[in-house]
Amino acid sequence: MADEKLHEIEIERNLIIPLRDGAELCADLYRPAGAGKTPALLSFYPYHKDDFIAAMCEAPRRYFASRGYAHLLIDFRGLGGSSGVAWDAMERGEGRDGAEAVEWIARQPWCDGNVGMWGLSYGGISSLKVGAENPPHLKAIAPMQGSVDIYHDILVPGGCRNMLGAYGAWGSLMLAMNLMPPTNADPAGRWYKVWRERLAAGTPYIFNWDEHPNHDEYWDAKVVNPERIKVPTFLIGSWRDIFPDGMPAIYPRLGGPKKLLMGPWMHTLPDLAPSEPIDYLPELKRWFDHWLRGEKNGIDAEPSVTIFVQNGEKWRHESSWPIARAKARTLYLAHGGRLGDTADREEGGEDYTANASVGTCAGLWDPTGLGIGLPTDQAEDERLSLVYTSEPLAEDSEITGAGQATIHAELKEGDEVHLVAKLADVDPAGGSTLITTGWLRGTCRESYARSSVLKAGEVYEFRIPLWATSYRVPRGHRLRVSVSCSDFPRIWPTRNNPTIRLHFGGKNASAVSIPIVAKGAAAGGPRVRSVKPIELPTPRVPIWKIERDMASGTVTVTTGQRNPIPLLQGGVLYVDHVASARVSTSRPDDASVRGETSFNAKLPVIGELEVKTQSWITQHGMTLSGRVSIDGRVVFEKRWQK
């Protein structure tokens, strides 16, 4: 509000939070000057409060501190300024550490005992993990673009191993970040002690992922049960995120008061998004004001679900999710590339040999928030897929919810297959826009926990979940289903190009089921406040290249960023990060991901710091290496290989 009183801000850096096992979490505290005891908020990340995540969090924590909240940005155990050895990525131990931090915060003289938590991406994941621990003084959380099961939501969707996004864009970046010392180093030398401890015992996040293709005990140890979360939870997600299904899938399972907002963004804060940015901080403040301060601001009486309908360019409020008035429409794949409301009476089929390069039109699937990488026109991928297209729609159709493709197919050549189903909107001029996608590893057709052999010549039913979406298809447009056996560089290809026969009609009628929302009784509510996209102090220089070698049949997709990050304690961290995925259409077993990252900074206590890492991951193993130099002298060097 225009007349809202704003406080001056006091800042305390490198605040130490002791844990029961002797490790120490390191935090920066922003709080209203002279305000006495206030509610407190925390955000909990592995991305270094002093450098990489600091710039993104600076405006939000100042926003809350100036409006009467203490706000802490806390480093994970074994990262940034915190001591100990980092947990394996997304382990439940991160949630236990965060729960201890909540209770420590509640006991401090500047806190009134009411604590809330919020964060984006990994900060959203950690909010959910801490929420499931239900520490007594945690009163509300607001996870943004998070997940409770990273196996299904991003790392191994449908049993198909993520490729460039996980191993390159994120994994190779984190290899370098996990070797970084605390960049806001204390003159007494604590920074050196905690840094050497993690260097001696740490393991790269991605090193063990490929050893667990199924959803086994390794992945179970990272899953959060949403039913355990009893605190009020405000979920914010987006349809073009790296895990768009995460927030909608969590919402019905939460055990306490809840709210869901789904935008059209990629993986970024809602006010940084290049399309339909919104002013999300006032909504978070209203949420925390109600649950931490007891304000009667009406947020608990408003519709609990707010969604943006893509291609409808409008926000809408709903009273529930999934939407009760959504009705499933089944469309059948048919002879001649048709997609219709009835199945062919006679059974038919088409043979298809996988092309490992299919997928480049699906977008970048970027976990690092570059702000680019939306899907392009699907024509190139559809040309190399099996395609089934409907007649022009007689009326506008809104697809809102999660669908499913049911594909009846047999494996004619090969021993493994990925089934990829995509739903697209085809305009009258022939342009094809991706709506949603689903993946399934053939040997996971019965269970993600164990593999089942595929017998050549036997027809199987493959149920492929399609990720949730909200998208309006205008009258006169057509719906299109494409089926392929790859989605490069989102997922690793199978080691050979299998040949399948897709069946349709008769007893093996392949189909897609999509939720269609009828017009009518949407709930009323306040408008979402749109804003111009906010710019960070130093905009990133993103990288996204798709290169095709027509002679060798090789396709390479490259992503990354080159940018300076201003350090709040003074100085600049220079980031140069490039990752690429490569596949040959004739030799998918030779597919690989490469990553190179360097961090450079001149730091007052440490000196001239350089961290350089390289990663090379194939279908058969990986080689990772890292080197850290200070003032030109190598102080750490290591290689991990298998």
Residue range 492-510, pLDDT digits in tens: 999 999 999 999 999 999 9
Work out the pLDDT band at 539, boundaries 50, 70, 90.
Answer: low
Question: How far is 637 from 510, CA to CA, in rounded Å?
Answer: 54
Q: Following DSSP, what letter does each residue of 32-62 receive, concatenated? A: ETT--SEEEEEEEESS-TTTTTHHHHHHHHH
Residue 1 binned pLDDT confidence (cut-offs 50, 70, 90): very low
State which amino acid sits at residue 630: I
**At residue 32, what is the residue type?**
P
Q: What is the pTM of this model?
A: 0.96
Whether omega before 542 lies within 30 degrees of 0, making that bond cis, reads: no
With a cut of 50, say whether residue 625 has pLDDT above it.
yes
Contact 529, 424 (CB under 8 A): no
Q: Confidence class of residue 519 from pLDDT cuts 50, 70 and 90?
A: confident
Q: What is the pLDDT of residues 382-404, one digit of tens each?
A: 999 999 999 999 999 999 999 99
Indicate if the pLDDT at residue 313 is higher than 90: no
More confident residue, 369 or 336: 336
Q: Give pLDDT tens digits for 204-248.
A: 999 999 999 999 999 999 999 999 999 999 999 999 999 999 999
Within a 10 A sphere around the Cβ of 257, how many other Cβ atoms?
Answer: 17
Residue 186 pLDDT exceeds 80:
yes
- The beta strands (E) that lie in 68-147 are given as 70-75, 111-120, 138-144
Answer yes or no: is pLDDT of 521 > 60.
Answer: no
> With contact defined as beta carbons under 8 Å apart, do 94 and 126 qualify?
yes
Those residues with Cβ within 8 angstroms of residue 292's Cβ, 6 or more apart along the chain or in another chain: 39, 114, 115, 116, 139, 140
Distance between CA atoms of residues 28 and 105, nearest Å: 12
Q: Which of 346, 463, 315, 465 is nearest to 401 (CA)?
A: 465
Span 576-595, mean pLDDT?
Answer: 97
Closest CA to 486 of 186, 241, 158: 158
